[in-house]
Structure 1
Amino acid sequence: MKKKPTKVRWGLAFFFFIIGVIAYMDRSNISIIAKPMMDDLGLDKVQFGMLASLFSLGYALIQIPAGLLAEKFGPRKMITFALIWWSVFTGLTGLVKSHGLLFAVRFLFGIGEGPMFPANAVFNTNWFRRDEKARASSALLAGSYFGPVIAPIVTVYIYQYFGWQAVFYIFGAIGILIAVVWWVIARDYPEIHKLVNEQEKEYILEGREIVNTDKARAPWNIFLKSYRFWALGLQYFVVLYIITFFLVWLPTYLLEDRGFSLTKMGFAASLPWLAILITVMTGGMISDSLVRKGFSKQISRSSLAIVGLIIFIISMYLAVITVSPYMNVLWLSICLGSLGFTVVCSWASATDLGRNFSGSVSAWMNLWGNLGAFLSPLLCGWLAEKFGWNITLGLTIIPVFAAAILWLFVKPDTSLLNTNEE
C-alpha cells in the first residue's frame, strides 16, 4: 500500500501564521497604549505619528537587502535572525525614555521586521507547488491581519495589570521564544527536512516553479527594465498606503468624525481587520483553485486583485456619503476586506514573477508598499487637519483606481526572466 504524503509544508505555513500574529501585534500594540505612553514620555501627536512613519521607513529601506540575503542564506536563518532582532527592539521600546532614542529604536524595529515577508516568499517558492502558492502566502498574511483583531484585548489586559512598559517586554520575550522554535523545526527545502516523506517531496517537486537550488544572484538589470516589475511595486505602494491609513487613523476617525465612544470604537475598529482576515484566507483559496482548473494567472491573480480594488472604490464612496455611523463601519469593513484579495494576489504574483528570485521581487514590491506606509500617516493626518475626514477618505479612490489599471500590466503567467516584453 502506497504511503500518503506528509503535510509538513502546511505545518510550517501554520507556523508562519503564528509569526505573522506576533509581528503585527508587536507593530500595533503601540497605538493601543498611545495615551498612557504619550502622557508618561511627554510625546505630542506629531512625535507619536513620527514613530509609525520611522518604523515604515526602516522597514522599507531593508526590503531589497533582505530579499537578497534571504535568497543567499535561506528563509530559516533569515526568519530566525529577524525575529530575534525585532523582538529585542520591541523590548527596548518599553525601556528607553529619551525621545531621540525612542525614534531610533522604532526605526531599527522596522529594519528588524523587514526580512519577514521576503524570506516568506523564498520559503513559499522552495516549499510549494504553483497551485498552492496563494494559499501559502495567505498563512503569513492572515496572521498579520489577525494580530490587529486580538491586539486590543491582549494589550489592554497586560497594560491594566502590569503597565504599558510590560507590553513591550512580554512581546519581546515571546518573539525570541518563537525564533528558537522556528530554528528547530524549519529547513530551507523539503528535500532536506527529515519529517518530509518521499511522497510529499515528489508531490512538491513535480509542481515547483524553480529550476534548481543554486544560490545565483538576482538579475536586477533585467528586472529594472521590466514594466511588469514596476507595475507590481507601484500598485503595492497604493495598497499599503490604504492599509496603513486604517491601522493608524481609523480609531481617531471613528472617535472624531463618527462620534463613537472609546469602548464602542474598539469593537468597531476591529471589524475591518476581521474582514481582511477572511478575504486573505478565501482569496488564496480562490486564486489557487482557478490555477488548478486551468485558468491563466492573469485571471487567477490579476483579475481577482482588480475585483478587490473595484469593490474598494464603490464601498469607500458609500462609506463617505452614509450618515449612519454603523453603516459607515460596515462599508469601511468591506473596503479593507476587499483589499485582502489584492494583497494575496500581490504576494502570489511576486513568487510567480520571481521564481528562483522571489525574495528579490517580493522585496522590491514591499519596498514600494512600505514607502506608501511611510507616507500615509503623515499625508492623511495633514489632509484630515486641512480638509476634514470625508475628503481624506474620498481622495483614496483616485490612487486605488490607478492601482487597478497597473494590474493590467503585471502579467504573472510568465517569469520576469522571460525578457520578451512588448
Structure 2
Amino acid sequence: MRPPQSIRRMRVLLLVLLLLIGIINYVDRSTLAIANHSVQDEFGIGPTEMGLLLSVFSWAYAFAQLPAGGLLDRFGPRKVLGGGLLLWSVAQAFCGIAANFKQMLFGRLFLGVGEAPAFPGGAKVVADWFPRESRGLPIGLFNTASTLAPAIAPPLLTWLMLSYGWRTMFVVAGVAGIVLALIWFAVYRDRGQLSAEPGPAPEPVSLREWLGLLRHRSTWGMMIGFSGVIYSIYLYLTWLPAYLEGERGLSVADTGLALVVPYLAGTLGMLSGGGVGDLLVRRGVPTMIARKVPICAGLLLGGLCTIPVALTPSTTLALVCISASQFFMNNASAGAWSLATTVGAERITASLGSLQNFGGYFGGAFAPLITGIIVDRTGSFVLALLAASGIAIAAALSYAFLVGKPVGLTEEPAPVR
C-alpha cells in the first residue's frame, strides 16, 4: 500500500538531512588528514604523534558507540543525534584554536564522542521510517556521505587551508555543523506525529536486553567483521593525502584533486552495496544471505585490490587500485549497515548498529596509529598496505562464518509504509 504523502515527504526530507549530517561528519574527520603536514610542522610532532591524533578520535568514537545505541533507542534520534552533532561541531571548532598538541588531542577526543550517534542514528531513522525489505537503498544513500564528503572535502578544504590557514579550515567546518544541528532540532519529528495509525510506541531497550545482544554469535561476527571494513576505509581516509604526497611525490594541490576519484568510486560502491541487498531480498533470497553477499564480496575484492597499491611503481595504477578498493570496501560498508537494520527488531536497530560500529572502530582505530608507526620505522607505506589487505580478507571470513542467525528478533508492529 502506498504510504500517505506526509510520510513520503518526511522520508525525503530526512534522507536529505541525514546525508548532510553524514557529509559534515566526514568532512570534520578529513580536516586533520588534509592539514597533516601543517599541524606536524606547527606543533613540532612526527608521524607517531600524528597517528595518535588520528587514532584518539576513533577510540573515543568506538567506546562512545556503546551508550549511543541504547540512548538512541530510548530517547530517539532528535535529541541524541542532534546533541551529538552540536557537541562534535563545537569540538571541531575548538581544534582550530588549539594552542598545542595536548589541546588538539583533547578536541579530537570530544570530536569522536560527539560523532558516535551519527550513523547508528541514521540507521534508527531508516528503520523507523522505511519498510524492512526496502531499507538497503536508503541506508546506502545516507552512507554515501562517507565517500561524497572525502571526495568533496580535499579540494574544498585544501583551498581553505592554502587561502586562510589550517585553523580557519577547522573553525569553518565546526560552524557549519552547529548551523545544521539547529536545523535538525527544528525539523525532525518522530514518525508517530505524522502517521495516521502510529501504533503503540515500542518499549525502550533495557540494559539486560542490550547485554543480551552480546550472547549472539552473529553480533560478535558483525563486530569483528566490521573492524576490517573500518580498518581499510580509515587507513585511506586518514593517511591517503600523506601517502600521495610522501610516497608518490604529488603536490598538495594535485593531491587534493587526485583524492576525488577514489571517493567517487566509493560512493558508487556504497549505493550498489545497499541496492544489491534489496534486490536479492525481493528475489526471494533469505535476508541474512542477501545482506552478507555484498559485505563478503566487497571485503575480499577490496583486500585483494590493496596488494598492487603497495607493490606497483606506477602512481596511475596505484590510484586505479585505490579507487577499486574504495568501491568494494564501501560496498561492504553499506551492506553491513543494511544488515544491522534487518537482522533485529526495529526497537534494537540503533543498539545493534552501534555495537557493530563499536567493533569496527575499536579495531579500525589502530589503522592510523599502526600505519604511522610502520612509516616511522620503515619510511614506506608498503607493509601498512599489505597488513590492511590481510585484515580485510579475514573480516570477510568473519561475516561469512560467524554471522548466521537473526539477533534478538521479536514480533513488532509493522513499520509505517
Q: Secondary structure at the match of 1:354?
A: coil
* Change over 3 Å in CA distance of 1:81–1:251 after alignment to 2: same
Q: Does 1:336 align with 2:326?
A: yes
Q: Secondary structure at the match of 1:22?
A: helix
Aligned to 1:98: 100
1:137 to 136, 139, 147: 139
Q: Which amino acid aligns with 1:79?
A: L
Normalising by structure 2, we get a TM-score of: 0.90
Aligned to 2:413: none
1:214 to 203, 208, 217: 203
CA positional deviation for 1:212: 5.1
Q: Which amino acid aligns with 2:139?
A: S
2:381 to 365, 368, 389: 389
In structure 1, runs of 5+ residues without a counterpart are 206-210
Counterparts of 2:252 and 2:179 in 1: how far apart (Å)? Answer: 34
* Change over 3 Å in CA distance of 1:131–1:413 after alignment to 2: farther
Counterparts of 2:350 and 2:368 in 1: how far apart (Å)? Answer: 27
Q: Does 1:369 align with 2:360?
A: yes
Aligned to 1:208: none
* Change over 3 Å in CA distance of 1:169–1:263 after alignment to 2: closer
Q: Which amino acid aligns with 1:155?
A: L
Q: Which amino acid aligns with 2:282?
A: R
Normalising by structure 1, we get a TM-score of: 0.89
Q: Secondary structure at the match of 1:224?
A: helix
Aligned to 1:192: 193
Counterparts of 1:214 and 1:138 in 2: how far apart (Å)? Answer: 28
RMSD: 2.3
Aligned to 1:379: 370
* Number of residue pairs the alignment of both structures matches: 404
CA contact (8 A) 1:302 1:410 kept: no
Counterparts of 2:355 and 2:269 in 1: how far apart (Å)? Answer: 24
**Partner deviation per Cα, 1:352-405 (whole Å, 9 max, x = no partner):** 233211111111111111112321111122233445422322232322222111
Matches within 5 A, 1:179-328: 179-188=181-190, 190-193=191-194, 198=196, 213-217=202-206, 219-328=209-318
Q: Which amino acid aligns with 1:402?
A: A
Q: Does 1:398 align with 2:390?
A: yes
CA contact (8 A) 1:83 1:113 kept: yes
Q: Does 1:16 align with 2:18?
A: yes
In structure 2, runs of 5+ residues without a counterpart are 411-417
Instruction: Return 293-302 or 339-348, whichever deviates more.
Output: 293-302
Q: Which amino acid aligns with 2:330?
A: G
**Partner deviation per Cα, 1:263-300 (whole Å, 9 max, x = no partner):** 33332233221111111012212211222232212332
Sequence identity (%): 27
Q: Does 1:414 align with 2:406?
A: yes
Runs of 4+ in 1 over 4 A off after TM superposition: 410-413
CA contact (8 A) 1:17 1:144 kept: no
Counterparts of 2:133 and 2:183 in 1: how far apart (Å)? Answer: 28
* Change over 3 Å in CA distance of 1:24–1:245 after alignment to 2: same
Aligned to 2:415: none
